[in-house]
Structure 1
């Protein structure tokens, strides 16, 4: 092992924790203790034990954070030009690259993901701030052709105070893809990271303040969804909510937002199909399937959790795929195995419950299907990389989001059946296809119901590509210029001359 993260990894593996982690909420440009004085534990998923404590916030802390954000909205931030906002975001991108090792180690320790994945996340986060730094002064309205006696134009104005409810699977990436465009647009922000993964959001807030962000423009309140998240989304001082999480919680967020007619962007997960047709590049497709479902132990809303496979190549393809999957190494995320732990004991039990029910129902198991105990030992939360064949389109393996390293296989005959299978759930987040026939691939992209489609590479694209879903996967878009406009309100102006 070599590189800038070495000493940090060694400290964690030796002591079980990391010194210098943030303390308190980040409100008004500084760390402050929770008003109640209550704290919570954060757990290392690779060892299954607590490594640090953090503030357990409640409605009083949320009130303080929203007040700070509303004050900042009318302060120097409001007078600052778009180019200067961009310069702050650009400085933040530079600082993130300088401190990427520490951010990545904390992200891996807190979430459980492999260090290499966390390092990739950091590169993406820095790029997100760089992208929106360049976009801040490119946001403009339109001239309206009303005839020679009128001048008409539109302007894009910041929506106001934006709340960010952040999930535990991609703590830093998700907070960045919301905060960066919100700040570029001129909004102020109150973020509530998941109680399982609070630390990198707090670290990011401090870094942005160092980059020049005025006090109160970005605030972070930690705590549970019930005690801190619910008061935030129901707060009358919030003008916009970006929520990433489950359908059930998203529905509750919508109800709370309706009380104040608060704008929403919801990303609620998926059960995304990865179609592999008979004419695919089989090696590339096998690699793509493994990345699509086993990255971050399958805990990705856009995971390719359904393999929709052409019967003509099913035997050969499944043989290759199963051999590869059975050889994946499991271990603590900081040791860079092939597959890390799942985030919590609760999530481990949820995954195991789905698989046990499928096995009891008679589904064919190709690989895995059990809680894992890595050879390196430890008492962390691990699940074997699993492949199970679905019994039909109505199989719970097809219809329900498992959010773990479990691949459901659906065997179909040709492109038309593959499309029908792809569209046969209530989710519509992403979809992908492996085929050498560009006509078949583009027809699939045209006809599948999904917010994003990958062709011959899963997770293709980056911050430039708008992301979001349809149906039960939510609505609204993050990333790209569409994500920037999510934090704007359009004003039309007409003058008679």
Structure 2
């Protein structure tokens, strides 16, 4: 019987950790140590202290995992029908739900996010496996009418061994987002979670094994990006790479994949605008703008980090935002304050650097703007909810992804200016639009250069809606049926009969 959530929280608060957390790679159906024997520590951002250790993998461990994944492609996994794969993925979803509390507490300790957010992420991971379980036997080709005497059709085949470089901000949900469709398409998997957040990817892979997945189908290698991630990207036995992370690392991934012509899906940075028109429902828009930037302490690629607002409502709207932001509490994720920790000391310093430089340039810091700590323990890596106002289009804080709880406010006087501001960065991941004018909203959605547009609800959609970026936000799409196509090779057959 699963341990209740409150008991797990008590254990973690009392001991600083959870018993039985995984500390080895999962390769070919078994937990195995790094071939070098090396271990690393993972830190709880809410305390700044190590709470678990894990295998520090390198190229040798990656090679073992890829070899296992290659062998599994021609084993029992290949013999499963799409419907059988679907039933297996449904079992994974059920096991995620059965272990949801433990997964959520581990995710909170590893990432620093609020427990409520981690619980939502676990539910999303289960929903992702459900969605692709149902899609397994519906990923079908086409019949092409060439006329009498010919038969032509297309077939979707698994691309092969897929590599998944998982980010630290959404460790479990990002893992599920890539692994589930890859498995649904019939591929095998080697995942490399971020060294800051290795645990829940290992726990997910264990649940895949418990569901009956053949050995070698789903493998997880832990370690640093330099030692394990780079080796995985450059491995000639990998046929597809899914990477979520920074633009700079994405460029390195592209270069590493190039010699082997390895397929790529890159979901990189964002500086997403939220366009708020004067006729909007202000209360609803304020709620969404706050959630869009302060959820997960702003550490979201698709965070609504720029408020692009009509001058006529700017003063009132920002006044409401500031009052709400000042009232927010911060604290360790297990206590469910309004906002949790940022992921690392280095990242906290990066966020603070952006705001300190903005303040030195004379930018108005309406609230926040300082590092802080857990009010109970005085420890951990926290940054105050921060709003910067009146920013110029070329300001560093507008143009660069801060990736923290910092909202940048830009003001427009007409729709053309709003569009220019929205499109005025090198990023194009998502955009939000708030207005009561449905026609205006859809005209703006056409004009904004973004991979996904939310209208009157930020973060609208779900696993069934394709997600990905334009410009320096990357290319390719995760989620939806588009993800299945990402993990498939299309074969055309034409015959004279």
Q: Same fold by TM-score, threshold 0.5 exceeded?
A: yes
Structure 1 residue 160: Cα displacement: 0.1
Q: Distance in 2 between matches of 1:390 and 1:163?
A: 43
The equivalent residue for 1:327 is 327
Q: Distance in 2 between matches of 1:351 and 1:274?
A: 21
Q: Distance in 1 between matches of 2:194 and 2:200?
A: 11
Q: Retained in 1: the 8 A contact 2:391–2:409?
A: no
Q: Distance in 2 between matches of 1:467 and 1:84?
A: 27
The equivalent residue for 2:185 is 185
The secondary structure found in structure 2 opposite 1:393 is coil
The equivalent residue for 1:457 is 457
Q: Aligned runs of 1:410-489 on 2, under 5 Å?
A: 410-489=410-489
The secondary structure found in structure 2 opposite 1:377 is coil
Q: Retained in 1: the 8 A contact 2:391–2:408?
A: no
Q: Which range moved further: 426-435 or 385-394?
A: 385-394
Structure 1 residue 376: Cα displacement: 1.6
The equivalent residue for 2:135 is 135
Relative to the length of structure 2, the TM-score reads 0.99
Q: Distance in 2 between matches of 1:7 and 1:209?
A: 26
Q: Retained in 2: the 8 A contact 1:46–1:378?
A: no
The secondary structure found in structure 1 opposite 2:260 is coil
Q: Distance in 2 between matches of 1:42 and 1:375?
A: 23
Q: Distance in 2 between matches of 1:188 and 1:74?
A: 10
Q: Distance in 1 between matches of 2:191 and 2:358?
A: 38
Relative to the length of structure 1, the TM-score reads 0.99
Q: Distance in 1 between matches of 2:55 and 2:484?
A: 31
Q: Retained in 2: the 8 A contact 1:390–1:398?
A: no
Q: Retained in 1: the 8 A contact 2:57–2:224?
A: yes
Q: Aligned runs of 1:359-374 on 2, under 5 Å?
A: 359-374=359-374
Q: Which deviations, in whole Å up to 9, do the C-alpha atoms of 1:161-191 show, x marking residues without a partner? A: 0000000000000010000000000000000
Q: Distance in 2 between matches of 1:496 and 1:301?
A: 50
Indicate the RMSD between aligned Cα atoms, in angstroms.
0.8
The equivalent residue for 2:50 is 50
Aligned residues: 495
Q: Retained in 2: the 8 A contact 1:292–1:303?
A: yes
Structure 1 residue 439: Cα displacement: 1.3
Structure 1 residue 484: Cα displacement: 1.0
Q: Aligned runs of 1:30-179 on 2, under 5 Å?
A: 30-179=30-179
Asked if 1:227 corresponds to 2:227, the answer is yes
Asked if 1:202 corresponds to 2:237, the answer is no
Q: Which deviations, in whole Å up to 9, do the C-alpha atoms of 1:464-497 show, x marking residues without a partner? A: 0000000100000000000111000000001101
Structure 1 residue 379: Cα displacement: 1.3
Structure 1 residue 374: Cα displacement: 3.4
Q: Distance in 2 between matches of 1:274 and 1:125?
A: 26
Q: Distance in 1 between matches of 2:40 and 2:373?
A: 27
Which runs of structure 1 show a deviation greater than 4 angstroms over 4 or more consecutive aligned residues? none
* Gap runs ≥5 in structure 2: none
